[in-house]
């Protein structure tokens, strides 16, 4: 999978799983050129996701949910991912 396909697939899976109010996925591969983990072609990404599914969930639960939504991509296509996951009610405080 090339970087554009990876980005599109991550967005698709997160949209289907969480129906987010806000979703941003950025390919940060350019920040990791020459990094050992980038040599095998897997990507580095940053995700911002705001969804009701995260209501009353801990940070670790949210991260697990996002990892699960990406399935085998974590092993095959993603080397590193930074996740900011919020429920809408947290932003209203």
Could you tell me the end-to-end alpha-carbon distance of the chain, in angstroms, rounded to an integer? 40
**More confident site: 41 or 22:** 22
- Helices 59-70 and 3-18 pack at an angle, to 10 degrees, of 120
**Residue-level pLDDT at 91:** 79
- pTM of the complete model: 0.81
CATH code of the domain containing 86: 3.30.300.90
CA angle, corner 57, sides to 52 and 63, nearest 5?
Answer: 95
Q: Where are the alpha helices (DSSP H) in 1-93?
A: 3-18, 59-70, 73-76, 88-91
Interval 25-54: pLDDT, tens: 998 876 666 666 556 666 788 999 999 999
Condensed to tens digits (0 to 9), the pLDDT of residues 52-87 reads 999 999 999 999 999 888 776 666 666 678 999 999
pLDDT computed for residue 75 by the predictor: 61
Sorting pLDDT into bands at 50, 70 and 90, what band is 12? very high
Q: 30: domain range?
A: 3-91
Instruction: Give how many domains the chain has, as a whole number.
Output: 1
């Amino acid at each position: 999978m090339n970087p554009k396909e990876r980005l599109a697939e991550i967005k698709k899976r997160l949209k289907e799983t969480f129906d987010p109010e806000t979703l941003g996925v950025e390919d940060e591969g350019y920040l990791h050129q020459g990094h050992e983990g980038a040599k095998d072609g897997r990507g580095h990404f940053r995700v911002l996701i705001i969804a009701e599914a995260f209501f009353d969930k801990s940070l670790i639960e949210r991260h697990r949910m996002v990892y699960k939504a990406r399935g085998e991509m974590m092993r095959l296509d993603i080397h590193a991912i930074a996740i900011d996951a919020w429920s809408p009610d947290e932003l209203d405080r």
